[in-house]
Amino acid sequence: MASVCTAEATRAAEQRWFDAHPGQDLMDIAAQAVARKAQELLLGGAVDEIMPDWAASQCVLVLVGGGNNGGDGLFAAAALAQRGWRVELAQVMGQPHEAGMAAALDAGCIRVSLGEVTSHSYDLAIDAVLGIGGRPGIPQSLERIDTWLRARQIPVLAVDLPSGLDANSGEVESCVHAAYTITFSSLKWCHIAHPAARYCGELEVHDIGLDFVDDDGECLDDVDEYCDLAEMASLWPVPGALDDKYSRGVVGIDTGSEKFPGAAVLGVLGALRTGPGMVRFSGPSAIMAFILSRAPSVVIGEGRVQSWVIGSGWGTHDGNADRFSQRAAEGVPMVIDADALALLPAELPEGCLLTPHAGELARMLRIERSQVVADPRGSAVRAAQRFGATVLLKGSIQWVARPDGGVRAALPGPAWTAQGGSGDVLAGMCGTLMAAGLPADDAALCAAGMQAATAISMPGPYAPDQIAELLPGTVTTVLSR
């Protein structure tokens, strides 16, 4: 499990560091890390104490903004110049950090105008224009420089985050395209949430000594955990030599209707491609032949299962309440999706998972959708506590909240997955993992994260059933890391 911080949490941690280290500064620590990373990139590997003769022939462009991010870049520029690199400084916006600029010029760095940049040659550019406090988007002057750098295949090293990104989200207006990003002490949401993540390039988190817990050992506000690939690999149920189809888990699927048979197919495919011992389909008899035409290994009819997936594609029918009650009476954990979310009883079997999107969660909580969008994390927690079940709130960042108030985020996926049917596949995946014995929160984190990882590996307009077919390869790759 990895931590991810908002800009606010980072500032709070920085202030705690300053309070504990009066008279000291974090900027030099961060700048030295940036300079070392730049040297590694220029040298093509680890930094050597002895600089090669050809180092002086290479030139680094440092794009500078105002404030501390620009200061990090200027002190890094000074360190590089002191080691023998040629460094040019281009002020993009704001007033330069006074001490940083003085140090850079004293070390031999050269100031150039933005207009001069495109007539020079560079081996590396350092983006130190906007940091975690910057507003989304970049000025046209920087957009032009970014386009020029990409056209000439000059790699960009971003300080903390590529200029123009919002540290707290995956949204993108306009930004610098970084090949590498070095950030400090913790990831920010823009580093892992798409589409912003794809502009960050190769990430490195450098520890500069920030502490993200308070005096009581509790995480600071706005510090969250997300389930990364390593965590998914450790949680994912892998069959042993003595396992059979029953010990691996049987997942029951009661989804779909004559009007929406595709939802049932997608849920079955999601369940099958996640690795169950067996999938049992007990939905409407009118669509059973259709299910078998797509998934011949599915067992049709009633029988014992370790989890149920219900609700996807039910539509609105008078018999839905009885359909829900029948499955709930069996007492096994359920994945409750789509139309079944409107039928939640006063008490659910232990270990259930609710999988709403923002609109569905708003209806469940009887609030406006805009309120859920404004506070998805808090909304998921409130729903989990109200209904006594784990909640997986689907969206660009997928929050998994437990009834006890615990909350984590799944690995975010690309915006390509925001399409009808993705949730049906996800529900089936969750059902398989719960049938295999994972608690609802771990199942939700692993299923959402594995679906995201699959989409990340194959970006583009792949339909949900195509993503489902690619899941086994992603699982294999993640488990072999």
Q: What are phi and psi of 393, to 5 degrees?
A: -90, 115
Could you read off the pLDDT of 305-340 as tens digits, one per residue?
999 999 999 998 888 999 999 999 999 999 999 999
Same domain, 367 and 379: yes
- Say if residue 357 carries a ligand binding annotation: yes
- CATH number of the domain to which 213 belongs: 3.40.50.10260
Q: Is 201 annotated as a binding residue?
A: no
Q: Which run of H or of E encompasses 188?
A: strand 187-188
127 is in an annotated binding site: yes
**Domain span at 165:** 1-224
What integer best gives the mean pLDDT of the chain? 92
Same domain, 210 and 235: no
pLDDT of residue 2: 75
Q: Is 73 annotated as a binding residue?
A: no
Residue 162, annotated as binding a ligand: no
Q: Is residue 158 located within the same domain as residue 251?
A: no
- Among 95, 76, 222, which residue's Cα sits nearest to residue 158? 76
What pLDDT band is residue 162 in, cutting at 50, 70 and 90?
A: very high
Is 133 annotated as a binding-site member?
A: yes
d(CA 135, CA 190): 13
Looking at the predicted structure, is the pLDDT value of residue 216 above 90?
A: no
Question: Is position 424 annotated in a ligand binding site?
Answer: yes
Which of 224, 256, 277 marks a domain boundary?
A: 224
Domain boundary among 204, 224, 244: 224
Asked whether residue 449 is marked as a ligand-binding residue, the answer is: no
**Is 331 labeled as ligand-binding?**
no
pLDDT band of 447, cuts 50, 70, 90: very high
Task: Tell me, yes or no, whether 200 and 246 share the same domain.
Answer: no
Q: How confident is the model at residue 49 (pLDDT cuts 50, 70, 90)?
A: low
| 10 contact partners, CB below 8 Å, separation of at least 6 | 132, 167, 184, 185, 186, 188, 210
- pLDDT at residue 459, as a whole number: 85
Q: Does residue 419 have a pLDDT over 80?
A: yes
What is the CATH classification number for the domain harbouring 446?
3.40.1190.20
Q: Is 25 annotated as a binding residue?
A: no
Q: Tell me whether residue 160 is annotated as binding.
A: yes
Give residue 468's pLDDT: 97
Q: Examine the pLDDT at 473 and tell me if it is beyond 90.
A: yes
**Residue 123 is labelled as binding a ligand:** no
Query: Is pTM beyond 0.75 here?
Result: yes
The arithmetic mean of pLDDT across residues 19-34, rounded, is: 83
User: Does 132 show up as a binding residue in the annotation?
Assistant: yes
> Is 27 a residue whose pLDDT tops 90?
no
Domain match, 219 and 235 both: no
Q: How many domains does the chain have?
A: 2
> Reading across the β-sheet that carries 399-401, which strands appear in turn?
187-188, 2-5, 223-227, 407-410, 399-401, 390-393, 353-355, 334-337, 307-310, 250-254, 278-281, 299-300
| Residue 313 annotated in ligand binding | yes
Give the residue, 5 or 153, on which the prediction is more confident: 153
280 strand-pairing partners: 252, 299
- 72 assigned binding-site residue: yes
Predicted confidence (pLDDT) per residue in 233-271, tens digit: 999 999 999 999 999 999 999 999 999 999 999 999 999
Q: Mind listing the pLDDT tens digit for each residue in 367-404?
A: 999 999 888 999 999 999 999 999 999 988 899 999 99
Cβ of 209: how many Cβ atoms within 10 Å?
Answer: 13
Residue 23 annotated as part of some ligand binding site: no
Instruction: Tell me if 254 is assigned to a ligand binding site.
Output: no
CA torsion through residues 3, 6, 11, 12, sign: negative
The more confidently predicted of residues 73 and 10 is 73
Mean pLDDT throughout 336-359?
A: 96
β-partners of residue 156 are: 125
Helix 67-82 vs helix 27-43: crossing angle, to nearest 10: 50
